[in-house]
Amino acid sequence: MKIKCVAIDDEPLALRQISSYIEKTPFLEQIALCQSAFEALELLESKDVDLLFVDINMPDLNGLDFVKSLNKRPQIIFTTAYSEYAIDGFQVDAIDYLLKPIAYTSFLKAVNKARMWFELHQQKSSDENNILNKEIFVKSDYKVVRILLSDILYIESANEYIQIHLDNSEVITTLMRLKNMEEQLDASHFMRVHRSFIVALGKIKEIERYRISMGPKIMIPVGEQYREAFQMYMSKKMQ
């Protein structure tokens, strides 16, 4: 894939340097060069952009405020001559931070991080599309109910029964042990985190002190015997 890039800098020489680096990097595609944040704002309304190179020190609207103002935010690599802005840059989830004068080796290291992010994002999207097509059928009362795996929020054990909680707040109860349900589910999308709970990993909202938030007022405990596996999963996601 080609990563579509826009560079924003009020200094023409710095802008030309970034432009030359983009052009010599095979997996990057230059969409435009902008000499102000306002010019970039107008451009982003009409163009699909994956990655922005943003100078922090610009007149009228600086790079940090510009990025914070974006509703739909591409990935960001900040550029500046002042190292004290590094922490501010990462507070808005920038991929990287380049200190001027920028060497091509530093540029390449930063854009390789961006390429890795996009590849992981593509893989995640592909995985999510695959799970959308998967389904299970369970007996509930006197009916057989079809459930899309992508609709499951979490599953709770209730003695000999399990309760399948869906995104739309519907709860389907079926006669089955949690272990048997766990064996039917893809471990890359679902994880047993407690003797009484399985969660949809892609729908975790927050984690605090071994408690998982799956939405407003929905807190799932992480049992002691499941903590190591859950921590390993989270460590991989946070790298």
Render pLDDT for 210-230 as a digit per residue (tens, 0 to 9): 999 998 889 999 999 999 999
Q: Determine the average pLDDT of the residues in 163-172.
A: 95
Q: Determine the average pLDDT of the residues in 62-80.
A: 91
Residues 63, 69, 75: CA angle, nearest 5 degrees: 65
Whole-number average pLDDT of the chain: 89
Q: pLDDT tier at 60 (50, 70, 90 boundaries)? A: confident
Q: pLDDT tier at 197 (50, 70, 90 boundaries)? A: very high
Q: Which residue has the higher pLDDT, 237 or 146?
A: 146
Bridge partners of residue 206, in order along the sequence:
213
- Residue 76, CA distances (Å) to 50, 121, 236 in order: 9, 15, 22
Q: What is the CATH number of domain 134-237?
A: 2.40.50.1020
Amino acid at 1: M
Q: Is the pLDDT of residue 237 over 90?
A: no
pLDDT for residue 133: 60
Residues 77, 94 contacting (CB under 8 angstroms)? yes
Bridge partners of residue 54, in order along the sequence:
8, 78
Predicted TM-score (pTM) of the model is 0.55
Written as six digits, the tokens of 206 are 């927050």
Q: Which residue has the higher pLDDT, 134 or 76?
A: 76
Distance CA(30)–CA(22), nearest Å, equals: 6
Q: 206-207 and 211-215 as β-strands: parallel, antiparallel, unpaired?
A: antiparallel
pLDDT for residue 36: 95
Written as six digits, the tokens of 186 are 């893809």
Buried b or exposed e, range 70-92, using 16+ CB within 10 angstroms = eeeebbbbbbbeeeebbebbeeb
Q: Determine the average pLDDT of the residues in 9-36.
A: 96
Q: Is the pLDDT of residue 43 over 90?
A: yes
Q: pLDDT tier at 94 (50, 70, 90 boundaries)? A: confident
Q: What is the CATH number of domain 3-130?
A: 3.40.50.2300
Q: Is the pLDDT of residue 140 over 80?
A: yes
Distance CA(114)–CA(118), nearest Å, equals: 6
Q: Is the pLDDT of residue 85 over 80?
A: no
Domain boundaries, the chain: 3-130, 134-237
